[in-house]
Structure formats: structure tokens, C-alpha cells
Amino acid sequence: MNEISLMPEEQYQRLQQRNAEDVKELWDLLDEVKDPEVPVLTIWDLGILRDIEREGDSVIVTITPTYSGCPAMDNISTDVTQVLNDAGYADVKVKTSLSPAWSSEWMSPEGRRKLRNYGIAPPEDADLDEDGLTPDAHAQCPHCSSRNTRRVSEFGSTACKALFQCNDCNEPFDYFKKI
């Protein structure tokens, strides 16, 4: 049976915002900027890119960190400025906004698919435990799709991921935590 994919409200709002912008070409342009830790995802896919505004000749880009200490933010700011500079926008300001706090719900459907193909289980590939945190087992293996998996560590290669291992194919894999 085919599943009907439902888009969470947050994602729908983001998509509406993007389509309604009068600077649509800038949103498209910034699809070139990837997350340095997960290079298959653009900052749009991840939900890090919050807003783009034009004020006269300057472009103001608003981004939000996934986790407080995400060391990728400085890189991302530099990359955003570089891409826009190369496209002829000389005056670029990158602002960091903390509120509303980033949520994994903001990740685009395309981003979730790309994550899985890259070998990282997206947030919805595990049923959360009663506290709403990463469970200790059964995140779906992105390699062989088995649910027979176990959590090896709450904290993976970056703050946004936990480490799992598949009991069937034995491959370790990262799980993108739901927050």
C-alpha cells in the first residue's frame, strides 16, 4: 500500500514563504550552499536558511543554528556571502537569529530523502521514546532498511546526530536527532 505523505505544518509554512518572496532568484541561488558536515544537504533543506531580504543594494540573509554550539555556522555565513558576491551582490549581511529555535521539523522532504540516500537516518525513521528523545533501538537502517538496530551512542559525529548500528547488516550509521 502506498503511504500518503503528509507535510508538517512547519514545512508547509516555509515553502509558502519561499514561493511568496519577491527575491525568489536569491533563494534559488543559495541552494548552492551546503552544510559542511552533511554536504548533500543545502541550508534550505536543513531549515537553517530562514529569510532573505533586500534593502536597496544590500542583501540580508537570516540563518539559525541547529544546535547552540554548531561550529558549521561560521562556515555557512562565509559560504552564503561568497555565493552572493560571486553572483554580483557586493553588499551582503548574514544575521543569526535564535528565535524561533530550530526544529528538525523544518527539514524539507527532499532533505530527508537525500539524508537517507547519504547513509544517515532522518528524524522520522525512529519512533521516539516516552520522553520524546532518541530511542535506544529500532531506528531504520538507511543501508538495508532493517528496524533491527540499536543505539550505540546518544551523541554521534556531530551534535545533531546519534550513533546506531544495524544488527542485520552490521553497518554503523548516524541518526539525525529529532529536536
Partner 1 sequence: MSDIKAATLEYATRLGDDSVVLGHRISEWVSYGPFLEEDIAYGNVSLDYIGRARMFYTYAAELAADGRDEDDFAFMRNDREYRNLLLMEMPKGDFAYSQVRQLFADVYYTVLLPELLQSKDETLSAIAAKAIKETKYHLRRSRDWVLRLGDGTEESHKRTQKAVDQLWGYTHEMFDMDETEQLLADEGIGVDVSKLRDAWLKMVTDILTEATITVPEDSWAVRGGRTGYHTENLGHMLTEMQIVHRSNPGCKW
**Contact (Cβ atoms closer than 8 angstroms) between residue 66 and residue 98:** no
Q: Which three cell numbers stand for residue 142?
A: 538507511
**Whole-angstrom Cα distance, residue 134 to residue 123?**
9
Q: What region does 176 belong to: left with phi over 0, alpha with psi -120 to 50, or beta?
A: beta
First to last CA, the chain: 30
Instruction: Kindly state whether residue 67 participates in binding partner 1, applying the rule CB under 8 A.
Output: yes
* Binding residue (CB under 8 A) for partner 1 from 102, 164, 173, 175: 102
Question: Is residue 99 close enough to count as binding partner 1 by CB under 8 A?
Answer: yes
Segment interacting with partner 1 (CB under 8 A) among 19-27, 44-52, 115-123, 131-139: 131-139
CB neighbours of 178 closer than 8 A, spacing ≥ 6?
A: 104, 123, 124, 126, 128, 132, 134
Query: Ramachandran region of residue 119, left (φ > 0), alpha (ψ -120 to 50) or beta?
Result: left
Stretch that binds partner 1, among 6-14, 22-30, 127-135, 141-149 (CB under 8 A): 127-135
**What mask, x for binding partner 1 by CB under 8 A, covers residues 146 to 175?**
------xxxxxxxx---x------------
The dihedral over CA atoms of 99, 104, 107, 112, expressed in degrees to the nearest 10, equals: 170
The answer to whether 75 contacts partner 1 (rule: CB under 8 A) is no
Nearer to partner 1, 122 or 156 (CB): 156
CB nearer to partner 1: give 22 or 131. Answer: 131
- Please, which residue, 39 or 132, has the CB nearer to partner 1? 132
Note whether 101 binds partner 1 by CB under 8 A.
Answer: yes
The residue ranges that bind partner 1 (CB under 8 A) are 65, 67-71, 98-102, 131-134, 152-159, 163, 177, 179
